[in-house]
Amino acid sequence: MTYYRNAYGISDQYLKYLIRHVLYLTQIKVSRLVLANSRYVTNLLKDLGVSVRVLYPPVRSREIIQSTSYIRRNNRERMIVTITRIAPGKQLETIPLIASKVKDAKFILVGSLNDKDYYMKLLRLKKVFNADNFTIIPNIDKTNLYALLGKALIYLHTARHEQFGIAVVETMAAGAIPIVHKSGGPWHDILEERGGLYGYSLALLKRLLRKLGI
């Protein structure tokens, strides 16, 4: 790895990433049955010559519906929630920017904290954009998470090219309107590439906010 780092300027982390994915692709090509968690991933693998079947991941929809039903009847707030791993690659930097332009709504980011430096970066962006309506709650417990979901009006999913996006389905079970990037499993599989039916693309966020009077 030292050779590639010095000769081509490739980091060890990126080289390990490439090796892992080449080995992974080789393995699935010789497998008798390959399962993918979305049609989006299936189409990507088919382009590489791999025969794939779709098996969607299980979602705790019944549990979520039962846990949030007593909250959500009359307590919807102008709250926009994002649930994800708090780490680079999720495009979370866009949230404080959006929050700074939509002052009438609360923006709450919850999820497991995987990268403290990235967490501090988001806090700095909150100050830069003067987004006082943006809050981060790392490592939230299930009880408080369900309480948030029962009150949230919108779920904002900023990640691009997500393989499936199980959090999108979970928040839909709680009654929130999903807003997703027009890519990956959230758009192709969950929203079925149709804005306004089950949710909206991120490009239509302004239109949805106007409809909701926010």
Same domain, 125 and 77: yes
- 169: pLDDT strictly greater than 80: yes
Same domain, 65 and 12: no
In which element (H, E) is residue 83 found?
Answer: strand 79-83
Helix axes 142-151, 61-72, angle to 10 degrees: 60
Residues 6+ apart with CB under 8 A from 64: 146, 149, 170, 173, 174
Structure tokens at 131: 């987004």
Q: How many domains does the chain have?
A: 2
Same domain, 178 and 201: yes
Structure tokens at 200: 């909206």
Same domain, 11 and 26: yes
Rounded CA gap, 54 and 56, in Å? 6
- Which range of residues forms the domain containing residue 162? 61-211
Rounded CA gap, 62 and 45, in Å? 32
Q: What is the residue-averaged pLDDT of the chain?
A: 86
- The per-residue pLDDT for range 132-146, each reduced to its tens digit, is 999 999 999 999 999
**How many residues appear in the chain?**
214
**Contact between residue 86 and residue 118 where contact means Cβ atoms under 8 Å apart:** yes
Same domain, 67 and 153: yes
- The per-residue pLDDT for range 70-123, each reduced to its tens digit, is 666 667 889 999 999 999 889 999 999 999 999 999 999 999 998 999 999 999
Half-sphere exposure of 8 (CA within 13 A, CB side): 8
Half-sphere exposure of 120 (CA within 13 A, CB side): 3
